[in-house]
Chain A
């Protein structure tokens, strides 16, 4: 079975541009979360979606937005890119949001802002 898949794997953007990152969860999983991981640090929570509704939002500016589609795939959008947005963006999926649900991560999308 396919795991969590993310695209693109690597991309380079210029300051001020916009980026869209995509994620397909494990088949049967209804919850998708997004994390940002800066080099040398642990991942930081950005958003969680469950059944197409936002269930949680981390401490990130409004330039960050996301949505979940009827097939449970998800997009993360970042507007007005800053140099500090350069990071590995991770998507995680789980069946639900309750304790006992294992959370699996994709390989991530490496974003470099120049």
Chain B
């Protein structure tokens, strides 16, 4: 069964304290791995898509990496405005021609000034 697990569930950082969020996945075949940011009461905001092991993408203080079993979202020198829930999702090749995303439960990040 296709599955996504994120850790930790919650993370508290001081402003400027770098860290990483983990997304472990088990899928029949990976079509893509997505990272989203979700603020309270809002819809998920697209951050990155990764397609193959070894791929990396960056946006401001965020950098996403991908291996055959997991993805990391590295946050460098975070600011309070980076506080949000970060969602990881996979699109499996076993889903035929659907675009179905399988989400993890999310990591809630709080950055204190």
Contacts and interface: CB of A to CB of B under 8 A. Distances in A.
A33 B43 contact: no
A72 to B, nearest CB: 14
Interface stretch (B11-19, B29-37, B56-64, B76-84): B29-37
A41 to B, nearest CB: 6
Interface size class of A (residues with CB under 8 A): 20 to 34
Contact of A97 (B41, B98, B102): B98
A33 B106 CA distance: 20
A2 interface: no
A104 B100 contact: no
Given A55-B98, A56-B98, A97-B97, A43 B103 contact: yes
Interface of B: 4, 31-32, 34, 36, 41-46, 49, 51, 87, 89, 91, 95-106
11 contacts: A42-B4, A42-B105, A43-B87, A43-B101, A50-B99, A55-B99, A102-B46, A105-B43, A105-B44, A108-B42, A108-B43
